[in-house]
Every structure is written in structure tokens, then in C-alpha cells.
Amino acid sequence: MSVRDNAGQMRESATEVLDEIRQLKESLGGNVLIAAHHYQREEIVRMADAVGDSYRLAVIASESDADVIIMCGVRFMAESAAILARSDQRVLLPDFDAGCPMADMTTRVAAERALDAIKEQTGTEAVPLTYMNSWADLKALTGERGGSICTSGNAKKIMAHYLDAGKNILFMPDRNLGINTARALGVPDHEIALVSAQGEVSADCAGKRIFLWDGFCPVHREFTAEQTAVLRVTHPDIQIMVHPECTEDVVASSDAAASTEGMARDIERAGAGAVLGVGTEYRFVERMIREYPDRTIVPLHTAYCSDMDLIAPEKLLQVLRGVAGGDTDRFLVTIDDQGREDARRALAQMIAITENS
Ligand code: 13P
Ligand code: SF4
């Protein structure tokens, strides 16, 4: 049945949209892989061939044989898939407006300024350690300068790798993931310096080993230590897990910090009867509540990522119709050749350190 929306346009009903997605998927077969991040809407997750955190999505893209990978997530995830995919594979993104305010908080030019300033102040080059939540040109700079990408699931391993090698690190762009990871590795305060969002480094850099970019995720900044305190009063047996993009005090007031994949695993392992508090994007939390009715799962707070939310089923359907009709240009994610090689090196370095240490 078609329905008329507020603007008077004829639109398919939600059921029709999902039915057509299923039919197109079946007719396109193994040529198309639909990958979805954990923060995607329930209907998108149901239509996906693979669901994961940023790390898993990158590995899936690097290993898939499909001709077309449709990335249901935000633009930096699609860019990373395009960097890692073979040159004869196409990576498609249903909505190019699905950005990330945290990724916008660093530019390549500002990062170069910071790397130069650190060298000038300390006399040594710092290695860039760049969070997946960044644009392709920053990933390319990271590869050019011998650094690595990291995700929330492997930041600790990769930061430890460079610290053990005696390197100073410029960690971009998430200050919270950086400080939470440094804390988990026992790096003392006096070895950590802050870098402004313009790439300015304070003059007092003596003895600093980790330089943290001053970026953050507005969604995870909505979580507070007061919320964890309230949950401990209302649910005395609760185990609280949060995403490491939350501030340091929120992580300190919780029992664990993990990537979305790590939280999904911990919720599964907690078993029937567990009482769990979860501090991350609400689409993920509500799906966990639905999937595990025998556990009590309570959000710290309801916070949505409006960029992730842009990937509506209707948009996925448009992409699949485009693939079936040979018209995919407007969804195609492209990366320039030089940038692609450098960025690929930084992503490959992440996968190598994660899998081999
Ligand atoms: P994960 O890698 O933990 O899924 O996080 C991605 C993200 O964007 C969190 O805001
Ligand atoms: Fe970016 Fe935060 Fe949304 Fe993740 S949740 S995509 S970091 S705005």
C-alpha cells in the first residue's frame, strides 16, 4: 500500500519498503554485502548481512568478496571501507549527510601544525594515533607519518605498542578515548599534554609522551557520573558499562568501558537475571533490551546519534534499486589514489597490531 506523506508525496509503507529490500537482496545474492554499525535503526540491522563496531566493519570490508559493499553507518565508516576494499569493489553510502561532529573537530592542516609544534618543543617526532572517527585525509596523514588508526576496541593495544617502542603519541581527535586509554595503561598525568582543536601545543612539553587532541563526541558527552550514581541507588546489584568516548569521570564511576561490540559481548555473557546499566547511543541499548528480555538492561540516559539515524530503510532501498538498475554513482564513496595508499597503510597497521599482539 502506498501512503501520502505530509508533503503530499506518495510513499511506500514501511512493510513494502522492507519487503522490497528483502527481494532485491535475494535477487542480487552474494554480489552485495550490507554492513551495519551497532547504532543503526532496528530495521537496518535486521536487513544487514553483518553488524559490528568500527573495527569489525573495517575487517569485514577488507575481507569481503562482494562486488558492492553498502555501508549503513556514518561517512567515516564508508570511507574506511572504501580505503580497505579492492579497487574493483564499490562501497556505497545511503546518505552522504551522515557525518560525525567529532571527526569534524580535526583537520589535516591543524594536525600537521600540531606534529610540527611537538617536534619543535620536544626535539622528537610524535607518531599520529588517529581514531577511526576521522576523515580520509587525516588517515592519509597518519599513514604518511608512520602512524596507525585505532578504534575504541583496540586503542589500548595500539597505544601500548607505540609507548613500548619509546614513541611520543599525538592522539586524535577524541580526548576522552585518549585519556581513558592512557589511564588504563597507567600513564601518569605529568606525561599527558592537551592540544587545542587548532593544533596548538602548550610551550611546556618537557617529559610529555601523549598529546591529546581536544575533540569529543557530543552524544557521549551527555552521559554523567551523576547518572551512574542514580543507577547504583535504584539498582544496587547493577554492573555499569559505558563507551570510552564518555568523559573520564563517567568511565571511573562505571564497572567497565568497552566498544559497542565489546558491550554486546559482555551483555550476552552476563547471562539471565543480570542487571546491567549501559552508557552509549540509545538505538544500541534498545536493541539489547529487545534481544535479551531475561536481563534487566537500563540506559544511563537516552542519547541518539542523529547522523547514524539518517540511514532510514527507504534510503537503503534507493541504494539497492540503484545497484539493480546499474545506477550507483550518487552513492559511491571515492578516495583519491595517493590518499588511499597512505590511509590504507595506517588502517593496515591497526589491523596488524590488533591481530598480532
Ligand atoms: P564503536 O567502534 O565502539 O562501535 O564506536 C563507534 C562510534 O562512533 C561510537 O561513537
Ligand atoms: Fe560521531 Fe558520536 Fe555519532 Fe559516533 S556517536 S558517529 S562519535 S557523533
Provide the residue range defining the domain that includes 144. 103-217+341-356
Enter the pTM of the model: 0.95
Ligand 2 pocket check: which of 54, 55, 172, 220 to mutate, most ligand atoms within 8 Å of Cβ?
A: 220
Atom 7 (ligand 2) nearest CA: 217
pLDDT of 232 > 70? The answer is yes
Ligand number nearest to the C-alpha of 174: 2
107 lines ligand 1 (CB under 6 A): no
Query: Do 34 and 170 belong together in one domain?
Result: no
Q: Are residues 213 and 226 in the same domain?
A: no
Name the residue at shortest CA distance from atom 1 of ligand 2: 100
| 232 found inside a domain | yes
Distance CA 196, CA 192 (A): 13
Digit-coded pLDDT (tens) for 33-51: 999 999 999 999 999 999 9
Question: Which residues pair with residue 90 across a beta bridge?
Answer: 68
User: Does residue 332 belong to any structural domain of this protein?
Assistant: no
Write out pLDDT tens, residues 45-92: 999 999 999 999 999 999 999 999 999 999 999 999 999 999 999 999
CA distance 232 to 217: 25
Q: What's the domain count of the chain?
A: 3
Answer whether residue 333 is part of any domain. no
Q: What is the pLDDT of residue 212?
A: 98
Mind listing the pLDDT tens digit for each residue in 299-328? 999 999 999 999 999 999 999 999 999 999
Rounded to the nearest angstrom, the distance between the alpha carbon of 152 and the centre of ligand 1 is 7
User: How confident is residue 13, by pLDDT bands cut at 50, 70 and 90?
Assistant: confident
Question: 93 CB under 6 A from ligand 2?
Answer: no
**Residues 208 and 351 placed together within one structural domain of the fold:** yes
Confidence of residue 357 (pLDDT cuts 50, 70, 90): confident
The answer as to whether 283 is a domain residue is: yes
Identify whether residues 22 and 35 lie together within a single domain. Answer: yes
Same domain, 261 and 166: no
In a domain, residue 108? The reply is yes
Distance 197 CA to ligand 2 centre (A): 17
Q: What's the order of all strands across the beta sheet hosting 90-92?
A: 50-52, 32-37, 68-72, 90-92
Q: What is the domain-level CATH number for residue 260?
A: 3.40.50.10800
Ligand 2 pocket member 311 (CB < 6 A): no
336, part of any domain: no
38 and 186 assigned to the same domain: no
